[in-house]
Chain A
Amino acid sequence: MDLDVRLPMGIMFVLLGAVLAVYGAVSDHRVYEKSLGININLWWGLVILAFGFLMLLLAWLGRVSGRTTTPTIKPGERERPGR
């Protein structure tokens, strides 16, 4: 499969992290009473954002070093034990 799963995963978490962090920055801070006064949207949003970038970095490094998920056995060539 030529799609490295870290690519869509990285993009998704970057998006989610950005949405949370931005919302955390602009939202009314009174709602954070329930999360013990911590602006959990902002801080955890940044954590998720960082995680997303990490995934993208790993995907990029994987592509650069030429390590992709190539099949070692072509489907048509396999013997079929079920027959």
Chain B
Amino acid sequence: MLHLLAAEPLHLGHVDYVILIIYFLFVLGIGFVLKRFVKTGDDFLLSARSVPAWICGLAFISANLGAQELIGMGASGAKYGLMTAHFYWLGAIPAMVFVGVFMIPFYYGSRTRSVPEFLKLRFDEKTRALNACSFAVMTIFSSGASMYALAALLEILLGWNFHASLVVSALIVLCYTCLGGLTAAIYNEVLQFFLIVLGFLPLALIGMKNVGGWSGLVAKLNGVAASHQPTALAPGTWTSVGQHLSSTSANPMGVDWFSLLAGLAFVLSCGYWCTDFLVIQRALAAKSMGAARRTPLIAAVPKMFFPFIVIVPGMIAIALMYATQHGASWSHGFEIPAGNDGKPNFNMATPALLGHYFPQGMLGLGLTALMASFMSGMAGNVTAFNTVWTYDIYQSYINPRQSDRHYLRMGQFATVFGIGLSILAAYFASKFNNIMDLLQLVFGFVNAPLFATFLLGMFWKRGTGHGAFWGLLGGTVAATIHHGCTLPKYTAAGAKGGWLVRAGHAHIYATDMQQAFMTAVWAFGCCFALTVIISLLTRRTKSDEELRGLVYSLTPKVVDESPNWYARPGVLGVAILVVMFALMAWFW
């Protein structure tokens, strides 16, 4: 009964290829047209601060959306149900509001060209070097992971040659980012955003109709909950976001309120949205301070509603599979394809649903949208990489005091070798899948403490470079140690944790999600404490005057120049939070 999708790839018709080709022609065309406007390094790497807020906002969310989010969120929707929405609600919206209202004034106002450069302005060179190097490595591996995932998916879904898919997708991204720079990447991200919405919204709508609307979905998912292994879960655990968080055993994700709020909502989400140059870069491209502050706020609006496009299909998929396994005929034998271990491969939930409902035509659109999401992730990582490489590594340490034209050329060259390295990383991922998971883990260790560093940097003038550097390093080490001493339930020690202690002595968490959240809390806490202690023990290297514009207490309050009260970042921020809470209450 289980269909191995590898055995029966989806059949594309001529119309699907036409749709695909139209999309790629426009993506490349935008790169060619924008080439004329790229005259300086700033144009290429920073868009010369000239982009309107709404474009930056959509690029902000689209660059983040890339990689495996469409696939991964569908998988999580199948595995954990609507609680996955917390990655979009509690785990994103407050952080996005915070960065727009409180942190962008320092990023944009300091006229820094990158996040590592901000660390240099605020702290010192070694802190910048630490962040720049780890970020550069991270972006290459993230880009490579996207490429690998895309090529692997296309091979399974369509039977396309893995190597050809990899190289062609890399060449397309290379083409438009090398020609048009950051602006081409941003424009294409806006295109990709709408394509993703238009490609996946009908999937969610049709699926909802098929299962009998929201109440029908709830009823079917209660059946899924009841058959959950190893212990049955209460009705509503797959479709409510707040009711079942009192203990880790009460919900499919295996988390509780503390780890959700402290781990996800606070540390992990702020660690990403407030410090990751991939998204901050899009805000820095905005044409004014007001536009820059509004960028994450504008991005927060579609972000809130994305669960309905990316998570609900996963929930529908598992409901359908449950129905099939219990003999229903209306699900037409749909099942989530099995992986190599015989268990359902949840990453195939959304693609399988695509193949189940979409005839040729829409199928082409859906697949194009899927490819677009991967490519926006690749392009986002590459543009972030080439800026950090050119300004924070090359210009700072290797070859300073060259002409702007020299750095423009270097930026373009960095795009080429960045993509080349990403391809290597993609092959590395295909050979050593476990190592890639390990690398993602390591990056998590690096990201989690970063928010502590920035919080202290922007809001505490006593923070010193020594404190920041050792705090960052210490937080990363703390995360690693915590991982080595803990394990999710029913997991053997090794890549998943517990490698630092003797067998049976690891602290057990309910799920790997819980472990990840608590690791983040530890990393943040240690970094914060270390940074404070070492800062107090070391002398300040920067005077108040040098820190003006970089620290809250030393900066004149940002006067919002927009004439309309409703466009003020503070007002927008509050409105967005109200809507988020309303959504959470509705699906409580």
Contacts and interface: CB of A to CB of B under 8 A. Distances in A.
Interface of A: 1-3, 5, 8-9, 11-13, 15-16, 19-20, 23-24, 27, 31-32, 34-36, 38, 40-41, 44-45, 47-48, 51, 69-73, 75-76, 78-79, 81-82
B48 A71 contact: yes
14 contacts: A1-B51, A5-B55, A8-B29, A16-B22, A20-B361, A31-B359, A32-B359, A34-B332, A36-B206, A41-B359, A45-B361, A69-B52, A69-B287, A75-B404
Contacts of A41: 359, 361-362
Q: DSSP majority for the A interface?
A: helix
Q: Identify the interface centre among A3, A11, A16, A79: most chain B CB within 10 Å of its CB.
A: A16
Nearest to B111: A81
Contacts of B23: 12, 16
B116 to A, nearest CB: 10
Given A24-B361, A40-B359, A78 B187 contact: no
A5 to B, nearest CB: 5
Interface in B193-248: 194, 198, 202, 206, 209-210
B19 A20 contact: yes
Given A9-B190, A9-B194, A81-B121, A75 B359 contact: no
Q: Taking each of A1, A12, A41, A79, which has the highest tally of chain B beta carbons within 10 Å of its own beta carbon?
A: A1
A34 B26 contact: no
B440 interface: no
Nearest to B18: A19
B5 to A, nearest CB: 16
B357 interface: yes
Interface string B388-415: 0001000110000000100000000000
B359 A73 contact: no
Interface string B18-47: 110011001001100110010110110001
Interface string B166-204: 000000000000000001000100110010001000100
A1 B206 contact: no
A3 to B, nearest CB: 6
Contact of A81 (B112, B210, B356, B357): B112
Given A3-B37, A9-B191, A40-B362, 7 more contacts: A3-B30, A5-B190, A32-B359, A40-B358, A40-B359, A75-B48, A78-B42
B562 to A, nearest CB: 15
Interface string B48-68: 111110010000000000000
Given A35-B357, A71-B48, A76-B40, A3 B34 contact: yes
Contacts of B120: 82
B51 A44 contact: no
Nearest to A47: B198
A1 B358 contact: no
B110 A81 contact: yes
Secondary structure call for the B interface: helix
Contacts of B51: 1, 69
A19 B15 contact: yes
B111 A72 contact: no
A34 B50 contact: no
Given A12-B23, A16-B19, A38-B206, A72 B362 contact: no
Contacts of A23: 15, 360-361
Contacts of B39: 75
Closest 10 CB pairs of A and B: A71-B50, A41-B361, A75-B42, A31-B359, A12-B26, A75-B40, A23-B15, A75-B48, A5-B187, A23-B361
Contact of B50 (A5, A44, A70): A70
**Max chain B Cβ within 10 angstroms of own Cβ: one of A2, A47, A73, A79:** A73
Contact of B198 (A40, A48, A70): A48
B191 A12 contact: yes
Nearest to A69: B52
Given A69-B51, A75-B43, A27 B29 contact: no
Given A1-B34, A40-B358, A82-B396, A35 B206 contact: yes
A71 B190 CA distance: 19
B42 to A, nearest CB: 4
Contact of A34 (B112, B194, B357): B357
B555 interface: no
A36 B194 contact: no
The residue in A9, A19, A82 that gathers the most chain B C-beta atoms within 10 A of its C-beta is A82
A82 to B, nearest CB: 6
A72 B194 contact: no
B113 interface: yes
Given A1-B47, A19-B18, A75-B42, A40 B206 contact: yes
A32 B358 CA distance: 8
B365 interface: yes
Contacts of A69: 50-52, 55, 287
A82 B117 contact: yes
A40 B363 CA distance: 10
A31 B360 contact: yes
Contacts of A81: 110-113, 117, 121
B49 to A, nearest CB: 6
B288 interface: yes
A51 to B, nearest CB: 7
Nearest to A11: B26
A82 B395 contact: yes
